[in-house]
Structure 1
Amino acid sequence: MAHLPNLIIDLAIILGTAAITTLLFKWLKQPLVLGYILAGVLVGPKFSLFPTISDPATIRIWADIGVIVLLFSLGLEFNIKKLVKVGGTASMTGVIEISAMILLGYLTGVCLGWSTMDSIFLGGIVCISSTTIIIRAFDELGIKTQQFAGIVFGILVIEDIVAVLLLVLLSTLAVSKQFFSAEMLVAIMKLGFFLVIWFLGGIFLVPSFLRSSRKFITDETLLIISLALCLLMVVVATSVGFSPALGAFIMGSILAGTIYAERIETLLTSIKDLFGAVFFVSVGMLIDPALLIEYAGPIALITAVVILGKAFMVTFGALVVGQPLKQSIQTGLSLAQIGEFSFIIATLGLNLKVTSGFLYPIAVAVSALTAFTTPYMIKASGPLCTWVESKLSPRTRLFLTSYSSGAQTIGSVSDWYRLLREHLQVMIVNTAVILGIILLASRWLMPLLLEELAENWATVLTGFLSFILITPFLWALVLKRINQPVYTRLWTERRAYRGPLVTLAIARGVIGLGLVLLLLDQFFSIKLVLIALVIVVGIWLIVGKRLPLIYELIEKRFLINLNARQIYQENRMGRNLLPWDAHLSYFEVSAESPGVGYTLSELALREKYGVNVISIARGSMTMLVPGRDERLFPGDKIAVIGTDKQLEHFISLIEPAKKEKAQATPAQEISLQKIAVDESFPYIDQSIRNSGIREKTQGLIVGIERNGSRILNPDSTTRFLPGDVIWLAGNTKLIKEFQRENRLRSVK
């Protein structure tokens, strides 16, 4: 009989048991993750009724690969632009909730008499919700089109980012044993620097490489290339002292901005499912059922802390940033659980040997309990909101309504704030790039040259090559003109800003000089500094006139790569929320739809349902603000604006079974934008029809705020009055150009 390696036997046991448990949990309509964990308990060393694996060390390696693949897959769903589009509501709510839950988890651990490190890790475990469980619950309940869902998904993005950062910070904390220490400060600064360098370099290089190789890319080569890039970044991240998970997440985020993101996600699905299953089974293998019985009290307490704490803090955070009471409660009760990242954080504590053995099974048990309660919490949000409103006084209800409405009005951004933000962006980005070039030259290029040249020649050559590479970025840091119209207006019209403007220019020059001196000090001896400085000035004078063109080409290439992916793989519901609860959702017209074949005028969508069709995507073509004579055909992907109730009613026209299909994203980006009617607005006292805004922006005016009242779906004869706030849905790029032209017109 041929001898089988232990790995094959162990995988047969693991996958066979997992197959049975997942089928059982699928039948019970419970998350499959819990089925994998149960399979791990059954095949683990603490449970003797089932066959036990014989080589846990090898399975642990597979589980580590599973973590890398899971984080890489998560990064593919992230996309650096996704964070920008999350918006202030989700960002601030997420920050409030995460900060409060970390503190609450830490205090809970202290109250239980646990060690400081156990308590800190408990705070990290309870602050991250489960994306998998929430998406599954939303799908089953059919509420992905509702307004609060967009806020929930935005908060999940913030939580995912914080979870990745926590892996780095907790690793540093485990080594230094001090929360406020020089090591922690250095780790934070080092992390920030490398994140900027990796994202800038990755976005500039990786999409360019894929674009140049597109003739040779097939599904097979694309899968190999993406996994190779992932593991390469894992090696780089580990070599500079960060976790493999961080490297995998970063490379996933870089690839998420490419045109191949969807294909990579599809190709990676089977690999992610396989290694993810092994990881979650390995999670269950570390659970001791006896410990769960012994720590039943702490498990019940922490479960209550997670459910009540997250529900309250998310609701509170959403109210603070101006969300209505109903949406705030719905958001809070949706996020009252922990999940996959909690397992990874708990595993980190075990691997670093800084947490007690009981913390891991407690985290898994709490995750299982909160996953089970999540659908019931979401269902209870409506009745709970009704009960809370009945207990509030009329004065309190009026205050909450007024506060919510006021928080969503347009906030004017001063010219000085805009200019300062753009200056800081240029200074931070170019400083990071220059430091990155100097670091790569000293750590990588110079050792290579030392193998072929004498030390002095290698050092000098490295220094000059480094200076040539940094000159475009040095020019941008010191001399690039930033938002010249605003700069000129502040300088000429507001004398009080001349001092700060001069200070900004001096700061840019000082930073640039400091970086040049750093380069000279790094590669040149004291005797050669003056000679090198003269040569550096000479090089600057020779190529100085070409530096703006070189930098413009580099910047243009970077922006092309950054915006390469026009079709986002994300649920874009609830973006740019309207104060009257209308929001943007996407639907696909089914073949059995009663509306197929009819024109928009025949369907009378605005009259019957109160909704507006903003775009129709048909194949590779997208029609923004389609005309009344446009017909609906099977497979059309339409963007619709309306309230929760209106959209729920509208679904019956598009999808008879009232089951929402996968969200579709049009080929062109559309959004809702707010425009203030002030002295710069060129169409004051003109009607909507005569203004021509529809034609200029390919947009549709879906609402107007006027003197505290709101006009939804205004008639085309409605005139614009000073002080109005216009809500315009349509082509994002054209709307922003329209706003920019208005600002320039006001300057002139």
Structure 2
Amino acid sequence: MNHTASVGTLFPQFFNPGSGPVDFIVQDFAVVMIVAAVMIAITYKLKQPMVIGYIVAGILIGPYTPPFSLVRDLSTINVLAELGIIMLLFVVGTEFPMAKLRSVGRISLVVALAETLGTLLIVFFIAQFLDFTFYDSLFLALALSITSTVVTVRILEELGMIKDRSSTLLLGITVVEDILAISILAVLQSVATSNGELSPLTIVISIGIVGAFVGGVLFLGSRYLPKVIDRAGRTNDYALLLIVILGFAFGLAFVAKGIGLSVATGAFLAGVLVAESNSVAVARILTLPLRDMFSAIFFISIGALMDIRLVPDYIVPATILIFASFGSKLMIVTGILLRAKIDNLTALRTGFGMSAAKGELSLVVVKGGQDVGAITSAILPILGVITIVTTFMAPYIIRFSSRIKLHESGDKPAEEEKPG
């Protein structure tokens, strides 16, 4: 960790205002925010997703980028990343009230289950063939089975496709996929921390722990917590409401961490419970600025923790894994929708949309594997490269799918739903 002091040596008067932990945190936080602001401006000008700018910003300030590190203490970056995960997943959870989860439809549930598990298995065996370790392969496979909801929705909005039938299907599938990903991550972390013993009993126990926690929180929490939130909301004291909401988010994240699960699981469930309250609209407005700030910190921290010196060694495996994930998701999603009598054009567009981008949850998965010591240092830079490449390519892939024309009677419903 000696490398983190090199900036102070170069600029002692400015970069060494103090030597205590608070000084380290203030300096590192300042660096993160300033570099993030610069990169947001650049990505905005280039019309690229902000997640790319954040990851590049993290790489620039991190300890693995010569000539020196701009951050003094990597533990600070890790703490900031943990806060980022909690806020990011909490706000994602507020988009998923239980009524919405019940309404996504059987076709979305079937497609999400099939394509998530199918892609996971295909990518896992390919990663094993490429000589990744067992747990590296598992966490990589889960990360690559997730579509970035945030990136995909933004692209669909920009292209005027958000009201298409394919987009409605895509959003329903991603709802289920996100919940599956968080649940599988919790199981993988639980299994990975059980002294490396991977047996049917271990897996059953891990699934039982996750199921009991999720079921208990949703069953008991939905009866009482929304009422507490509404009581705070009726006071019209936004500070009180915000503190109550954050108390739930960090409290459930703490409980999840305490039983060996990811903080992401607890934070997401807290968001679902807040979504059950009548104050959810105000809660979302209050927490969105916090989400934006801490999610920026999370993506920057991912970039800072990447050892980019390893990237050249893994360009070929990363390329193979991108094609494996893209191909498997495209074939599985399109194939199931065609069998369900969805018209060819809608099925194809949905398949392309589900295959295009990796992003926020994929990075959460790999960070979760790193937190429990289950994966090697190579996985984070590999997924960073995959995220940047797929996020950059996603607009072109989805735009290509929007221009596909299939002249047959079965395609008319999809054509009619194009926005005028």
Give the alignment's TM-score, normalised by structure 2.
0.90
8 Å contact kept, 2:90–2:267: yes
CA distance 1:166–1:97, shift in 2 (3 Å)? same
CA–CA distance in 1 between the matches of 2:230 and 2:87? 24
* Structure-1 residue corresponding to 2:150: 132
Per the TM alignment, residue 354 of structure 1 is displaced from its structure 2 partner at its CA by 1.9
8 Å contact kept, 2:86–2:267: yes
CA distance 1:11–1:313, shift in 2 (3 Å)? same
Q: Deviation digits for residues 685-720 of structure 1, max 9, x if unmatched?
A: xxxxxxxxxxxxxxxxxxxxxxxxxxxxxxxxxxxx
CA–CA distance in 1 between the matches of 2:74 and 2:233? 42
* Structure-2 residue corresponding to 1:644: 417
* Partner AA of 1:340 in structure 2: E
Per the TM alignment, residue 93 of structure 1 is displaced from its structure 2 partner at its CA by 1.1
Choose which of 403, 413, 420 in structure 2 pairs with 1:581. 413
CA–CA distance in 2 between the matches of 1:136 and 1:242? 30
**Secondary structure of 2:170's aligned partner:** helix
* Structure-1 residue corresponding to 2:275: 256
* Structure-1 residue corresponding to 2:321: 302
* Structure-1 residue corresponding to 2:220: 201
CA–CA distance in 2 between the matches of 1:213 and 1:289? 47
* Partner AA of 1:303 in structure 2: I
CA–CA distance in 1 between the matches of 2:213 and 2:314? 41
CA–CA distance in 1 between the matches of 2:81 and 2:359? 17
Question: Which runs of structure 2 are paired with 1:311-326 in the superposition (5 Å)?
Answer: 311-326=330-345
* Partner AA of 1:13 in structure 2: V
8 Å contact kept, 2:189–2:260: no
8 Å contact kept, 2:334–2:348: yes
Question: Which runs of structure 2 are paired with 1:323-722 in the superposition (5 Å)?
Answer: 323-336=342-355, 337-384=357-404, 386=406, 581=413, 643-645=416-418, 648-649=419-420
Quick check: 1:246 aligned with 2:265?
yes
Per the TM alignment, residue 71 of structure 1 is displaced from its structure 2 partner at its CA by 1.1
**Greater displacement, 250-259 / 314-323:** 314-323
CA–CA distance in 2 between the matches of 1:342 and 1:214? 34
* Structure-2 residue corresponding to 1:34: 52
8 Å contact kept, 1:93–1:321: no
CA distance 1:223–1:214, shift in 2 (3 Å)? closer
Quick check: 1:236 aligned with 2:9?
no
CA–CA distance in 2 between the matches of 1:277 and 1:201? 33
8 Å contact kept, 1:39–1:284: yes
* Structure-2 residue corresponding to 1:553: none
8 Å contact kept, 1:21–1:36: yes
Q: Deviation digits for residues 590-609 of structure 1, max 9, x if unmatched?
A: xxxxxxxxxxxxxxxxxxxx
Per the TM alignment, residue 239 of structure 1 is displaced from its structure 2 partner at its CA by 3.3
CA–CA distance in 2 between the matches of 1:73 and 1:50? 35
Q: Deviation digits for residues 365-420 of structure 1, max 9, x if unmatched?
A: 1111111111111122245564xx7xxxxxxx89xx5xxxxxxxxxxxxxxxxxxx
Per the TM alignment, residue 290 of structure 1 is displaced from its structure 2 partner at its CA by 2.3
Per the TM alignment, residue 269 of structure 1 is displaced from its structure 2 partner at its CA by 1.2
Choose which of 137, 145, 148 in structure 1 pairs with 2:163. 145
Choose which of 188, 203, 219 in structure 2 pairs with 1:170. 188
CA–CA distance in 1 between the matches of 2:230 and 2:131? 57
8 Å contact kept, 1:69–1:272: yes
Quick check: 1:270 aligned with 2:289?
yes
Q: Greater RCO between the two (CA within 8 Å, min separation 6)?
A: 2
Per the TM alignment, residue 203 of structure 1 is displaced from its structure 2 partner at its CA by 1.2
CA distance 1:51–1:287, shift in 2 (3 Å)? closer
CA distance 1:385–1:363, shift in 2 (3 Å)? farther
8 Å contact kept, 2:58–2:304: yes
CA–CA distance in 2 between the matches of 1:83 and 1:215? 27
Per the TM alignment, residue 219 of structure 1 is displaced from its structure 2 partner at its CA by 1.5
* Partner AA of 2:413 in structure 1: D
* Structure-2 residue corresponding to 1:9: 27
CA–CA distance in 1 between the matches of 2:244 and 2:341? 45
Q: RMSD value over aligned CA atoms?
A: 2.1
Quick check: 1:161 aligned with 2:174?
no
CA–CA distance in 1 between the matches of 2:257 and 2:372? 15
Choose which of 113, 122, 140 in structure 2 pairs with 1:104. 122
**Greater displacement, 84-93 / 206-215:** 206-215
Question: Which runs of structure 2 are paired with 1:284-303 in the superposition (5 Å)?
Answer: 284-303=303-322
* Partner AA of 1:121 in structure 2: F
8 Å contact kept, 2:190–2:260: no
Per the TM alignment, residue 298 of structure 1 is displaced from its structure 2 partner at its CA by 0.8
Per the TM alignment, residue 289 of structure 1 is displaced from its structure 2 partner at its CA by 2.5
**Secondary structure of 1:295's aligned partner:** helix
Per the TM alignment, residue 91 of structure 1 is displaced from its structure 2 partner at its CA by 1.1
8 Å contact kept, 1:42–1:50: no
* Structure-2 residue corresponding to 1:219: 238
8 Å contact kept, 1:92–1:321: no
CA distance 1:272–1:211, shift in 2 (3 Å)? closer
CA–CA distance in 2 between the matches of 1:51 and 1:124? 31
8 Å contact kept, 1:37–1:281: yes
* Partner AA of 1:47 in structure 2: T
8 Å contact kept, 1:40–1:283: yes
Question: Which structure has the larger Rg over C-alpha atoms?
Answer: 1
8 Å contact kept, 2:81–2:297: yes
* Structure-2 residue corresponding to 1:117: 135
* Structure-1 residue corresponding to 2:9: none
Q: Deviation digits for residues 484-537 of structure 1, max 9, x if unmatched?
A: xxxxxxxxxxxxxxxxxxxxxxxxxxxxxxxxxxxxxxxxxxxxxxxxxxxxxx
CA distance 1:38–1:213, shift in 2 (3 Å)? closer
* Partner AA of 1:107 in structure 2: F
* Structure-2 residue corresponding to 1:653: none
Per the TM alignment, residue 50 of structure 1 is displaced from its structure 2 partner at its CA by 6.1
* Partner AA of 1:270 in structure 2: P
* Structure-2 residue corresponding to 1:617: none
* Partner AA of 1:162 in structure 2: L
**Greater displacement, 20-29 / 173-182:** 173-182
Per the TM alignment, residue 213 of structure 1 is displaced from its structure 2 partner at its CA by 4.4
Q: Which has the higher strand share?
A: 1
| Sequence identity percentage | 28
Q: Deviation digits for residues 298-345 of structure 1, max 9, x if unmatched?
A: 111112122222222221122233311110100011122211111111
Give the alignment's TM-score, normalised by structure 1.
0.51
**Secondary structure of 2:376's aligned partner:** coil
CA distance 1:110–1:147, shift in 2 (3 Å)? same
8 Å contact kept, 1:13–1:51: no
